[in-house]
Chains A and B, each alone.
Chain A
Amino acid sequence: MAQPRLILCVDDETVGLKVRQLLLERAGYKVLTALDGRTGIEIFGREPVDGVVLDYSMPGMTGGEVAAKLRCIKPHIPILMLSAYTSLPPEVNRLIDGAMTKGEGASAFLHRVSALIGSAASQNQ
């Protein structure tokens, strides 16, 4: 039996996070959530996460900082950065595997997740 991929969603926006979780779960993924960078990093270290969907503008630790930390822990796990800005600074771009803006739509989002992290139900690795 195939294990559904585990995605870690980090976003300070409660509603947005919840809706994103619903969306991914309906698409077949397993989702863990964190409301801030610290918690996200902690979960990332602990759990067998297959991919991370990370919000860029967060209070406390920004998405960029979180990505840097994640890379130190498990560098090969794909990270998808979500932001309101159309372009991210180059030092952040280097750390991530992909970026997209919020508001491109749910199907585009799922498509991107599948491309970066893999479809929901696939063999591990």
Chain B
Amino acid sequence: MNSSSFDRILRQVLIVPIVAVLLGAAALVWQMRQAAITVDKIELDDDRIALTLQIQKLIVDQETGLRGYQTTGDQRFLEPYRKAEEELPRAMAARRAMIALDSRRVEFTDFEQAHRLWLDGFAAPLIAAIEAGGKTDDLDLNLTGKRGMDDLRTRLANLNVLTGQKRAQDIAQWRRQVRNMTGALSALALVIGVLVGIYTRRRLQQVRTAFRESDNVLRMRAEEAFRSEQKLRTTLQSLGEGVITCDAEGRIETINEVACQLTGWSENEARRRPIALVFRLLHETSREPLEDPVTTVRRLDQTVTPTLQTVLLRRDGSELCIDDSGSPIRDKSGVMVGVVLVFRDVTMARKSQQALLANEKLAVTGRLAATIAHEIHNPLDSVANLLFLMDGNADPEESANFLQMAKSELARVTQISRAMLSLHRESRTPVPIDVKDMLTSILLLMESRFQVLGVTVQHVLPESMIVQGYPAELRQVFTNLLSNAAEASGSGGNVRLVAQAGSRPDPGAPGRAQAGVAIAIEDHGPGVAEANRASLFKPFFTTKGEQGTGLGLWVSQGIVHKHGGTIDFASSTDPEEHGTTVTVFLAK
């Protein structure tokens, strides 16, 4: 039920009873008016009766006066008679005016005539006789008078009786009317009351039903909302990652179990605190404090996935390596109303990665160890032999010759051993590296390996090109790539190494170019099969069976990316034109 139908019901429930009551009141008023009319009639009847009685009284006064005068002969006793005589016409006229029916009027006229007759025929002559001093006790005369008077009395009495009857009728009518009124009104009140009651009840029941329904709906919705909130909460708690949500000001709203564990703050302690207090980040190597992702998101108004090596400083001061990312929470209109931060402990992962890297280094070194031993033993063996020869009976010229040879062999040993050692030297900060020097020394180091494999290596290293980087790691990359190329080429194959200055679009600044060095290693081996191309740079992927650890390319890519460079490869398994070219670009 919506509010307009509710209003309508309210109006109906209000108006209907009022209307009913008004109708009842109208009926009552009508009835009362009818009754009032009847009362008027009764009053009129009363007036008629009163007037008739008055006339009767006046006539009796006349008779009394007459009798008194007749008895005493004193004029004084005629006073009532004279008075009545004066008043009677008026009264009679008034009474006549009250007569409604014609038949009654005729009767009244007869009465008036009868009275006139008595007056003129009896009273007046009697008075005259008395005034003349005559005798008035004649029986017949008095009887005539008496008969006349009786007749008048009878007529008047009839008049009143009739009026009285009428009055009684009117009263009866009035009583009837009142009875009817009461009855009708009671009935009407009852009926209206019942109807209004039923009507109102039905309407209000509608309201009640609607109310109940909406109450149910509300309750169901509340339950649903509660259930879904619980589900969400459980899901958040079950995540393997830490999740923290903040409001638009960067204060923590929710923090899940994992996040509590990782940060070292309990839910109660963390809530309402500024995120920067709870989520303290440092750069892994420089140890500089970093801006927390929530602040960054608020500042940039977009999702942020920092790729720096970040360390989380926990509440107790211990540290964790983490990967984190922050996203804005937006309302329907797109306004940022909060930030959600998701992060994960990668300490173990990073340690294993570092261990793998170290392992790879070791493996690379190990593979070269055999070659190195060979590389060092051969020259040393020659030096020993030469010294032996010089020790024996060699003439000065020969000895000088032998000495030169020995020197040259020793120089070779030193070179090789230096190259070997540089594999282990680590630097914490990037240093300038001459690409040409580095590649040259790698080629020297790998010379015998190439010989064993029966591969010739052509190199085009024009001039010195300097890049910034970590020498040991870059050596690892190129050794790896050259090794792969040589192995792919097979006996009699040819590998080409070309380093040249170049440029590429700057990924950090669109539209700008970045200068650097492009080092291409090309072989004409079988090429990389289509199916393998996608997996080439994945860890543990190898096509070398047990010989390969599969880390080589993956590690190499990691190192190149660390240097801000790129590593691309092009390969073809076409029987006419097979081979692979790997190109490493290092920015200057």
Interface residues of A, Cβ cutoff 8 Å to B: 12-13, 15-16, 19-20, 22-23, 26, 57-60, 84-85, 101-103, 105-107, 109
Contacts and interface: CB of A to CB of B under 8 A. Distances in A.
B409 A15 contact: yes
Chain B interface main SS type: helix
Nearest to A57: B374
Given A84-B377, A102-B380, A103-B380, A20 B385 contact: yes
B451 interface: yes
Contacts of A20: 385
A19 B403 CA distance: 12
Contact of A22 (B389, B451, B454): B389
B370 A85 contact: yes
Nearest to A105: B384
B392 interface: yes
B572 to A, nearest CB: 27
B226 interface: no
Contacts of B380: 102-103
B563 to A, nearest CB: 34
A59 B378 contact: no
B386 interface: yes
A60 B491 contact: yes
Interface in B404-440: 405, 408-409
B388 A23 contact: yes
B132 interface: no
Contacts of B491: 60
B454 A15 contact: no
14 contacts: A13-B382, A15-B379, A15-B408, A20-B385, A23-B385, A57-B374, A57-B448, A57-B452, A60-B454, A84-B374, A102-B381, A103-B384, A105-B388, A109-B385
Interface string B393-408: 1000000000001001
Contact of A15 (B374, B382, B387): B382
A64 B408 CA distance: 30
B389 A13 contact: no
B370 A26 contact: no
Nearest to A13: B378
A106 B388 contact: yes
A16 B381 contact: yes
Interface in B346-384: 370, 373-374, 377-382, 384
Nearest to A108: B384
Contacts of A15: 379, 382, 405, 408-409
Nearest to B388: A106
B453 interface: yes
Contacts of B392: 26
Nearest to A86: B373
Given A59-B451, A102-B380, A103-B380, A19 B386 contact: yes
A22 B406 CA distance: 14
A16 B378 contact: yes
A65 to B, nearest CB: 13
A81 to B, nearest CB: 14
A18 to B, nearest CB: 8
Contacts of A23: 385, 388-389
Interface in B434-462: 448, 451-454
Contact of B378 (A84, A85, A109): A84
Contacts of B408: 15
Contacts of A13: 378, 382
A59 B452 CA distance: 4
Given A26-B392, A105-B388, A107-B388, A16 B382 contact: yes
Q: Which 8 A-B pairs have the closest CB atoms?
A: A106-B388, A102-B381, A84-B374, A84-B377, A59-B451, A102-B377, A19-B382, A19-B385
Nearest to B370: A85
Contacts of B384: 103, 105-106
Given A15-B405, A22-B389, 20 more contacts: A15-B382, A15-B409, A16-B381, A19-B382, A23-B388, A26-B389, A26-B392, A26-B393, A57-B374, A59-B451, A59-B454, A60-B454, A84-B373, A84-B374, A84-B377, A85-B370, A103-B380, A106-B385, A106-B387, A107-B388
A58 B385 CA distance: 20
* A15, A57, A60, A105 — most chain B CB neighbours (10 Å): A15
Contact of B381 (A12, A22, A103, A107): A103
B385 A85 contact: no
Contacts of B379: 15-16
B379 to A, nearest CB: 8
Contacts of B452: 57-59
A116 to B, nearest CB: 18
A84 to B, nearest CB: 4
Contacts of A22: 385, 389
A60 to B, nearest CB: 6
B376 to A, nearest CB: 8
B373 A85 contact: yes
A14 to B, nearest CB: 10
A59 B453 contact: yes
A103 B389 contact: no
Contacts of B387: 106
Given A105-B384, A106-B385, A109-B385, A12 B451 contact: yes
A8 B377 CA distance: 21
B366 to A, nearest CB: 14
A109 B392 CA distance: 15
B462 to A, nearest CB: 29
Contacts of B393: 26
Contacts of B378: 13, 16, 84, 102
Nearest to B381: A102
